[in-house]
Amino acid sequence: MRNTKKLPRKQLEKFSNIFTQLGLVLVLFIIFITLEHQTEEKIVADFETTKREVVYVEPDTEVVFTKEPKVVPKIEIVKAVPFLVDEVVKGDNNIIENIIDNVKVENPVLIDIENVVEVNVEEKFVEDVDFINIQNAPIFKGCDNLSKEENKVCFEKKMKQFVQRNFDVELANEIGLHAGKHKIYTQFVIDDKGEIVDVKIRTAYKKLEKEALRVIKKLPKFKPGIQNSRTVKVRYNLPIAFSLE
């Protein structure tokens, strides 16, 4: 029997082909695994990015109530007009003089002129002065340290604001005033102590009269007006007007 020996060189060539094929298979397998892994990572990354970009907007559930507009009368202060002026009736100008002569006086009283005390009537009698004629108008709270003209302007402004803030305009709806302009004529005196006195009100409705009186009585104390370097009583006219549409 013939013993055939294989040469080592030929064996190496044979195995090298096998190893080459195995290497190619291994390389292809590694490439496949790598591509699968990268694709999976990319998909996950894209999914996560998309997920972060989603914004949930909560539906608007707010209920808005629209209150039906209520007719509120507009209140304004109109320019002062002469108030409560009695009508002057022209009478008979023919005056008959009754002359009394030779009258006898029984038990006449003799007056000692030296003991008569002189009374300064002008100092004791304080006459009312109209606001428009007063030299130094009363000072409304918050109108201090102003000139005479500025004080009057400030007084009128503060008075208007006070009435608008405090007058109950709902009374117009309660009374049922018709559309148009309605006026309440008021007049009062700021005495020489700064207090409100002698209030006069003229209106066709009793409720409006009471409300106007309440507001006037609520006015703060004033610094009294000054005429000829002494405090005097100041008469002020305050017409209040309602405008209903």
Residue-wise DSSP of 114-155: GGPPP--HHHH----EETTT-SBPPBPTT--S--HHHHHHHH
pLDDT at 181: 84
**If you average pLDDT over residues 139-160, what whole number do you get?**
94
The vertex-221 CA angle with 190 and 74, nearest 5°, equals: 80
pLDDT at 80 exceeding the cut of 80: no
pLDDT at 205 exceeding the cut of 50: yes
Q: Please enumerate in sequence order all residues whose Cβ is within 8 A of that of 74, keeping only pairs 6 or more positions apart, or say none.
A: 242, 243, 244
Separation between Cα atoms, residue 216 and residue 239, nearest integer Å: 12
pLDDT at 8 exceeding the cut of 50: yes
The secondary structure element, H or E, covering residue 234 is: strand 234-237
Separation between Cα atoms, residue 233 and residue 129, nearest integer Å: 6
pLDDT at 31: 85
Residue 18's alpha-carbon distances to 8, 13, 26, 27, 30, in angstroms, are: 16, 9, 12, 14, 18
Separation between Cα atoms, residue 159 and residue 153, nearest integer Å: 10
Q: What is the mean pLDDT of the chain?
A: 72
Q: Which residue has the higher pLDDT, 109 or 29?
A: 29
pLDDT at 82 exceeding the cut of 60: no
Separation between Cα atoms, residue 186 and residue 149, nearest integer Å: 23
When pLDDT is cut at 50, 70 and 90, the band that residue 226 belongs to is very high
With H, G, I as helix, E, B as strand and everything else as coil, classify residue 3.
coil
Residue 157's alpha-carbon distances to 27, 138, 148, in angstroms, are: 98, 13, 14
